[in-house]
Amino acid sequence: MLEIRTIWYWYLLFSLFLPLAMVFGFARMGSGLTDRASLIYIISGSAIFSVANDGLYTVAVRIGSMKKEGMLLYYASLPISKVAFVVAIVLARLVVTLPGMLAPLVFGSLVYHIDLDFSPWIVLLLPLMALAMCSIGMALGSFINSLELIQIVVNMLLFMLVMAAPVFIPMEALPAPMQILGYLLPPTYAADALRHALNQTIGTAFYTDIAVLTGMIILSFFVLNRWLRWQIK
């Protein structure tokens, strides 16, 4: 985490660039997507994608590199619990992902002049989203042995999040297999919850999203604590 002290401006630039470019570009595709419903999908999807990129990708690759360079083994030799290690990595990432999560909401609202409801629920939702993504990244980085394979899998997942998951695309517009897959992915619930929060439609669906997201985070922490391989096979 402290590495950010020296190059924080680069982190900030890159974490802002991607979601802002998405909010700007996606709304201008074809003849333009200017209706509120589409813009909400673009804005919330960009925020989710930003978290996925900063959390999932970075954490997965970081864990993969640590394994490759033998550093995970060093942490394993210290008298710290696995869960403390997992929480430290994930929380450190949370701080870095925050600007990228917030930027599309503010930028989208200002550029497209749409009223978004910045519900207090967003304060809870944003860390939940980040934790979910980081823990998936942690799991991928931990369970896949090769750093190269980690990068391929994570890139594929990110691509899927944009093009074939209910993050930017409404669930009903996806083919059945993708819908089933979508139900298994935390970003689906994060994106849906964020849309509800921004539209001020807090209700059963929103609470269900939050509950599922929380459950997924707890499950992933449990799985990581139980099966994280920082020992040598």
Partner 1 sequence: MDNRPVSIHVRHLTRTYPGRGRDKQPVIANDNLSFEVRRGEIFGLLGANGAGKTTLIYQLMGLMQPDAGEISLEGIDVIRTPDKVKQIVGFLPQTGLPMRYVEVERALHYTGRLRGQTDTDARQQARLLIDELGIGDHAQRFVNKLSGGMLRLANFAMALMGWPQVLILDEPTNELDPHKRRVVWEMIARLNRERGVTCILVTHNVLEAERVIQHVAVMKAGRIVAQGTPGALKLYTGAKVRLEFRLKDGEQLAEDELHALAALGTVDSTRQDEYCLHLQPETVSAATDSLMNRIGLARLDDFRLAPPTLEEVYLEFDSEQQGVSR
- Interaction site with partner 1 (CB under 8 A): 2-3, 5-6, 66, 69-71, 73-81, 231-232
Is the Cβ of residue 29 or residue 80 nearer to partner 1 in the bound state?
A: 80
User: CA 87 to CA 195: how far, in whole Å?
Assistant: 27
Closer residue to partner 1 (CB): 71 or 223: 71
Quote the least distance from Cβ 72 to partner 1, whole Å. 9
Nearer to partner 1, 40 or 89 (CB): 89
Contact 208, 66 (CB under 8 A): no
CA distances from 140 to 15, 47, 102 (A): 21, 21, 26
The Cα-based distances of 166 to 24, 82, 123, 175, 217 in angstroms read 20, 33, 22, 11, 19
- C-alpha to C-alpha distance for 207 and 125, rounded to whole angstroms: 11
Q: Which is nearer to partner 1, 184 or 232 (CB)?
A: 232
Q: How far is the CB of 165 from partner 1 (least distance, A)?
A: 34
CB of 94 to partner 1, least distance (A): 18
Burial group, residue 193, by CB count within 10 angstroms (0-12, 13-18, 19+): buried
CB of 6 to partner 1, least distance (A): 7
CB 96, min distance to partner 1, A: 14
| Residue 29 CB neighbours (<10 A) | 10
Nearer to partner 1, 5 or 113 (CB): 5
CA-based R_g, the chain, Å: 18
Shortest approach of partner 1 to residue 42 CB, angstroms? 35
Residue 68 or 124: the one with the smaller Cβ distance to partner 1 is 68
**Residue bearing tokens 């970081």:** 62
| Burial status of residue 110 (CB atoms within 10 A of its CB: 0-12, 13-18, 19 or more) | exposed
